[in-house]
Every structure is written in C-alpha cells, then in structure tokens.
C-alpha cells in the first residue's frame, strides 16, 4: 500500500508543481504573488474542454490550444491589471489587483459555464497496469511524462536560451537589467505567458484525471500550489517542482496513515515546520537566486 | 495644494452621496410600506427560500419551479380564501449570510405569511430562527437533517427525514441484501454529511452490521486516491457515503480507476444529474440513495403532477419540485381550513396534518412536529437515469 500511496502522491503533487511554477517565476521577477494564477489554471481546463467538445480537436491539440489561449490570457491580465500599477504604486495594490482579477475570472466563468461541475468526455482509453503491489494507469504515466517534459523544458529554457538569460537578469535586479538594455516589459510578459501555459497544461490534465472541472477549481488548487512554491523556496524553479511533489505526497500520506480529517492540517503543519527551520524554503537560497 | 483641494472635494462628494443615499433610502422605504399596506389586505405572500445560482442551485431551481406551479394553480382556482397568492423569489446563492438577509426582508418588507424552503438543512436553520422570532411559518421542502423543527413551533417541513428513512434503508441493506461489512465516508466541511453519518452509524449498530472502515473527505476536493487505496485493503460490501453527488461521482470514478468493485449508498444528497454526468459508467447500478419522491412508478396524483410539470417546463420534476409544490398546497389547505392567514392560527392545522395525499407521497406531521412520509423510495442509476429500485415502508416513529 505504501508504494501505491506514494504514486498517488506524486501524481497529485505534479499537478501542484505545474501551477507552482507560474507563481514562483512571476514572484522571482516582479515580487508579485499572482493570485489570479489559480484562475488561469481553471481557464486552461475549460479552454481544453471547449476545444475537445465544441471544436472537436483531439486531446493533444486541445492541450496545446489551451496552453496557447492561457498564454494570451496571462499576458492580457499582466498588461491590464498589473503593468499600469508597476512602479507607480506599492506592491500591496498589485496584490489587491491580483485578487480582483481572480474574482473577476472565476465569476466570468460562472457566467459563461454555470456552476455545475463538468467533465471531459471519455476520450482517452485508460488501461491499467500492475507492477508488484502497485497499480497504475496509462493516464497517470502520460500525466507524469508530460509534466516532466514541461518542467525540464522550462529549466533548459531558463538556463540556456537568451530570453532565459534575460529572465534571470531581471530576477537579480530589474533596474540594472533595464539599464543593460533588456526590454523588461517584454521579459515580464514572457514570464506570465510561460507560467500561464504551464498552469493551463496542469488544468487540462487534472480535469481529465480527476474527471471534473468547475469555475472555483482554481481557488484551492492555487492556494496549495502557492504553498508548494513557498515550501520549495519561492523564486526557485526546481524548488517549485520539489515543493509541489512533496506537498502532494504529504497530503496523501496524511490521509493514508494518519487521519484524513487532518489531511490539510498535517500538510500545512509540515510546511510551517520546514519554513521555521529553513525560512528560504527547501531549495531557496539565502541570497535568493530568483528564477 | 492640489492634493488638498482633491481631498476636500472628495469629502464633499462623499457627503453628498451619503446624504442622497439616506434620502432615497427613506423614500424607497416609505413607498414600500405604503404599497404593503395597500396590498396587505387582498394578497397572500409566500417567500421562496432556495438558491438559483451557485453550488446548490441544482436543488433550488426545480424547487422554485414546483412552488411557482403550485401558486399558479392556486390562483387559477381563485386563490386562498378568495385572495390572490403571490410568490416572492429571492436567490440566496446557498449562502448563510444571504439567506438571513432574505428572510429578514421577507418578514419586514414583504410581510409574507410563510416562507417555503430551503432545500438545505443548514440554510433552513438560519432562516428558521428568523421566522420563529417574527412568528412567521417556515415550511421546508427539503431540509432532511436533524434539529430543524426543534427550533420552534412555527417551523415545519415536508420531507423524508433521515432519521425515519435511514433505519428502513439499513434494514434492507443488512438483512435483505446481506451487506454486513460497511465502510463510511463523511465529508467534514458539509453539515448535511456530518449530521447524516451518526444516523447511519446508529442504524448500522442496531442492525448488527460491522463498520470496517471510517474515513473523511472535504467537499471541493477531487483527489480521493488515498481513501480508495485504503478501502481496497478492506473490501467493504457497501460504502455509505453521506455527502453530495459531486464527490460521490468522483469517489466512484476513482474506485473504477483503481479496479475496486464498490457499491455506494447514501441520502438524497447523492441526487443530482451531475452524478451521472461526472460518474458515467462508474456509478451505473452502483450508487443508490433514498428519497421521498420518484418520477416513475407514481400514484395517480403524482402522475398528473408529473404530466403538468413536463408540459410547463419541458423537464422531469424532481423531489424538490414535488415537495415545494406540496408545501405550498399544504399551506393553502391550512389557511382555507382555519379561515385565517394569521401564521399563529394556521400553524395549528399544520401541526396536526394527517395522511396528506401529496404528489411526493403521504405526509403526516407527528407529535414531535416531524413529518412521517410514506413510502421511502430507494433509487439507483440505470442507463444514465435515476430509476426506482424499490419502495420501503418507513419504520414509523413511536
């Protein structure tokens, strides 16, 4: 049972990780906790559903389509709600703006889709495999592989590409980066686009895996993912991955071996404990190397 | 300097705004009370309690339709005591604060004689306190949990009460089907669920069934993999789940995913089309729930109600539409019989209601003011629809 529960935890955790990446990247560059990020994730799930059921795309294209849509949505949100405030007012007003966007987006989806939970049609043939005492499904494998590809791709992009270098520069010192001729606004837009695309991928996969999506799905998932980002060390990309997966495992193990009533309490107690011992998070560094 | 002028103008503007608000507020109030006085004498007002948007709108929407239909029928027959009946419909969004405001408004502004609703136990209790204090009858067409009518002598309900239905269901489960090893899952942030679980526990113990696993979830969660992996170890004959349909569907889906053959039984919280939409084949003939109403295998009165309802709304009525319809009709009968629209008078009739032949079954209000409804319908999912599995005779209280 332990290994089965571990696999359950990793699957849950990888969805947290995909959302956590968006939080951590945005925070790394503009020190903004983008509370609307959970809603972007929700919009991704709905965009995917729209593409599958209304447009009739196969699921692979729908996933890419949802990612593209959320890229655009993320950039628009940044342009409309955050950029006008940047530099002119305190960080607190940007935070309030983020909460506003979050409420706006979930309410908008309530108007569009209603509050009833929906689900993806059974598009993927799921087969089950048995490995020792552990049973896993093809869907679980696909989700883990896609998550891994996205996370490795992101890490490579940040480490190796030109825009990645610009992102790292901005995270170290945004003013100095601007002085060096980096188009800071473009880098920020790009960061929102990438983070939103990852959230959309997470949204589509979670909605398929757990078979349900509804307008408020982003709220709790966003909270959890934010905690995962803090746990891993906010601003650190590998930290978000580690934080997401550990949070998933902690939650599942809490249910499995302690009590499910205290599932969230256990997970968050560990989170607090980690932060007391290592305030910078698991993989965060003392002089925070953001992004 | 500029700043100062701005602030001054701002303060001035605020003052003007505030004043104008007070002024219009007063005016509006005066208008309303005048209208009320004028209208009071020849209109009987009933306030609807229920959500037509939000998470529990799937209970409130059919309820509202049932209530509207009953009121239209009453008015077509000349109203109650020759007076026109008017329904007032506010959407409480399933929110405790919202329903308190609405109940307050019904009492003070609309001057209703009775409120009908809410479908949810927790919300009903909020409104019931307000109704009792203001001596207005509250007649719920949905609240099945405990501690509702205990709130006062103006509070009634026409619904299959869990503590009457559960013993009948458990008796069937344990003694007729031989499902003796039972697991229970409760949704901790759902008041309906936490109240229903002890009722099941008590009935299970009374029937000498073994509770082999107890677990909890929360409404709004989607990952139940850990709970199902645990259940796989103990292989229960049946899972009692006391929460709502959405989580029920996702639990069954997870069981299917993990290859666990699981049967689920629960209260009318499992009722909801989304159970089938989300659950698909995972819930087919596996999920059962009890309710006071089913649209198949109906009596003559019920058949006519179903037919009229379909003609009006182009959809099948459900338990809430039937019970709200009945609630309005029972209130009408109470006012007609006592020749009074005074809640303190016609509540006496409600308290002694016996074998009222409603569209949602026979209703008797017992000595404890709790309704006894007959029969208890046990439903299951078949071909993507709720179908009647069998009718059970309730274990009558006392």
Answer whether B149's CB lies under 8 Å from B350's CB: no
B227 and A CB contact within 8 Å:
yes
Phi and psi at B20, nearest 5°, equal -65, -35
Residue A5 has pLDDT above 60, yes or no: yes
Query: Number of Cβ pairs closer than 8 Å across A and B?
Result: 76
pLDDT for residue B298: 64
Min Cα separation B250/chain A (Å): 7
Q: Which residue has the higher pLDDT, A115 or A10?
A: A10
pLDDT at B391: 77
pLDDT at A291: 54
Q: Please give the pLDDT value at position B142.
A: 86
Query: What domains appear along chain B, each with residue ranges and CATH number?
Result: 43-160+298-365 (3.40.50.2300), 163-291+380-393 (3.40.50.2300)
Taking the C-alpha atoms of residue A112 and residue A244, their distance in angstroms, rounded to an integer, is 30
CA distance A42 to A129: 30
Contacts of B277 in chain A (CB under 8 A): 118-119
Contact between chains at B274 and A116 (C-beta distance less than 8 A)? yes
Pull the structure tokens for residue A15: 């969805």
What is the number of residues in chain B? 398
From A120, which residue of chain B is nearest by alpha-carbon distance?
Answer: B278
The residue whose two tokens read 């994730």 is A41
Q: Which long-range contacts (CB under 8 A, 24 or more apart) does A153-156 make?
A: A154/A21, A154/A194, A154/A198, A154/A237, A155/A237, A155/A238
pLDDT at A260 > cutoff 80 = no
Which residue carries 């009590």 as its tokens?
A259
The per-residue b/e assignment along B308-344, b for 16 or more CB within 10 angstroms, e otherwise, is ebeeebeeebbbbbbbbbbbbbbbbbbbeebebbebe
Tell me, yes or no, if B222 comes closer than 8 A to chain A by beta carbon: yes
A126 CB neighbours in chain B (<8 A) are: 257
Query: Beta partners for B107?
Result: none
Q: Does A172 touch chain B (CB under 8 A)?
A: no
Residues (pLDDT < 70) of chain B are 1-41, 297-298, 393-398
- Chain A residue closest in CA terms to B281: A122
In this complex, is the C-beta atom of B230 within 8 Å of any C-beta atom belonging to chain A? yes
What was the pLDDT predicted at B297?
63
Q: How far is CA A46 from the centre of its chain?
A: 15
> Is A107 within 8 Å of chain B by CB?
no
Please give, rounded to a whole number of angstroms, the shortest distance from the CA of B24 to a CA of chain A. Answer: 30
CB contact under 8 A, A260 and B217: yes
Predicted local distance difference test score (pLDDT) of residue B36? 46
A264 vs B contacts (CB less than 8 Å): 218
CA–CA gap between residue A52 and residue A115 (Å, rounded): 20
Share of chain A above pLDDT 70, in %: 98
Q: Per the CB < 8 Å rule, is A8 touching B257?
A: no
Give B-chain residues touching A206 at CB under 8 angstroms. Answer: 222
- Cβ partners under 8 Å of residue A274, min gap 6: A231, A281, A282
Torsion-angle region of A74 (φ positive above 0: left; ψ -120 to 50: alpha; else: beta): alpha
CB B115 within 8 A of CB B103: yes
């Amino acid at each position: 049972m332990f290994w089965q529960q571990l696999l359950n935890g990793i699957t849950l955790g990888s969805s947290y990780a995909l959302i956590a990446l968006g939080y951590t990247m945005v925070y790394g560059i503009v020190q903004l906790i983008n509370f609307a990020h959970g809603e972007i994730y929700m919009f991704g799930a709905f965009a995917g559903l729209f593409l599958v059921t209304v447009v009739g795309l196969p699921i692979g294209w729908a996933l890419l389509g949802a990612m593209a849509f959320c890229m655009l949505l993320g950039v628009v949100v940044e342009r409309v709600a955050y950029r006008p405030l940047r530099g002119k007012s305190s960080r607190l007003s940007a935070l309030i703006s983020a909460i506003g966007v979050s409420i706006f987006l979930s309410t908008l989806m309530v108007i569009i889709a209603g509050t009833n939970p929906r689900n993806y049609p059974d598009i993927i043939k799921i087969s089950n495999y048995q490995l020792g005492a552990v049973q896993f499904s093809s869907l679980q494998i696909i989700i883990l592989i896609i998550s891994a590809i996205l996370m490795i791709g992101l890490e490579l992009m940040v480490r190796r590409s030109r825009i990645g270098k610009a992102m790292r520069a901005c995270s170290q010192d945004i003013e100095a980066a601007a002085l060096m001729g980096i188009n800071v606004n473009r880098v920020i837009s790009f960061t929102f686009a990438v983070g939103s695309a990852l959230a959309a991928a997470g949204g589509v996969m979670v909605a398929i895996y757990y078979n349900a999506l509804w307008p408020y799905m982003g709220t709790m998932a966003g909270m959890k993912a934010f905690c995962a980002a803090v746990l891993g060390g906010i601003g650190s990309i590998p930290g978000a991955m580690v934080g997401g997966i550990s949070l998933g495992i902690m939650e599942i193990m809490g249910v499995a071996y302690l009590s499910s009533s205290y599932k969230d309490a256990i997970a968050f107690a560990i989170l607090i404990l980690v932060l007391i011992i290592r305030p910078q998070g698991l993989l965060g560094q003392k002089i925070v190397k953001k992004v | 300097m500029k700043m100062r002028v701005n602030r001054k103008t701002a303060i001035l503007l605020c003052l003007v705004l505030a004043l104008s608000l007070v002024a219009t507020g007063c005016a509006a109030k005066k208008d309303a009370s005048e209208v009320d006085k004028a209208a009071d004498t020849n209109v009987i007002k009933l306030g609807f309690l229920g959500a037509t948007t939000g998470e529990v709108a799937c209970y409130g929407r059919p309820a509202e339709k049932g209530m509207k239909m009953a009121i239209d029928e009453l008015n077509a027959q000349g109203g109650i005591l020759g007076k026109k009946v008017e329904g007032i419909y506010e959407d409480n969004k399933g929110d405790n604060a919202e329903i308190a405001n609405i109940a307050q408004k019904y009492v003070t502004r609309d001057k209703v004689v009775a409120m009908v609703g809410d479908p949810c136990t927790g919300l009903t209790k909020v409104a019931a306190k307000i109704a009792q204090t203001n001596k207005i009858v509250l007649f719920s067409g949905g609240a099945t949990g405990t501690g509702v009518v205990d709130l006062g002598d103006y509070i009634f309900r026409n619904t299959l009460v869990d503590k009457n239905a559960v013993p009948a269901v458990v008796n069937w489960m344990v003694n007729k089907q031989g499902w003796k090893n039972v697991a229970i899952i409760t949704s901790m942030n759902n008041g309906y669920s936490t109240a229903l679980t002890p009722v099941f526990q008590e009935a299970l113990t009374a029937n000498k069934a073994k509770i082999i696993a107890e677990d909890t979830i929360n409404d709004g969660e989607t990952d139940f993999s850990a709970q199902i992996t645990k259940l796989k170890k103990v292989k229960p004959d049946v899972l009692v789940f006391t929460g709502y349909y959405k989580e029920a569907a996702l639990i069954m889906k997870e069981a299917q995913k993990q290859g666990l053959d699981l049967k689920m039984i629960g209260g009318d919280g499992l009722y909801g089309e989304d159970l089938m939409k989300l659950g698909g084949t995972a819930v087919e003939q596996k999920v059962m729930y009890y309710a006071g109403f089913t649209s198949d295998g109906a009596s003559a009165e019920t058949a006519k109600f179903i037919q009229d309802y379909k003609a009006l709304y182009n959809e099948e009525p459900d338990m809430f539409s039937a019970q709200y319809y009945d609630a309005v009709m029972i209130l009408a009968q109470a006012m007609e019989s006592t020749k009074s629209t005074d809640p303190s008078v016609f509540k006496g009739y409600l308290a002694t209601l016996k074998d009222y032949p409603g569209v949602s079954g026979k209703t008797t209000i017992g000595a404890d003011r709790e309704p006894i409804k007959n029969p208890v319908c046990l439903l299951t999912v078949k071909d993507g629809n709720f179908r009647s599995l069998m009718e059970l005779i309730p274990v009558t209280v006392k």
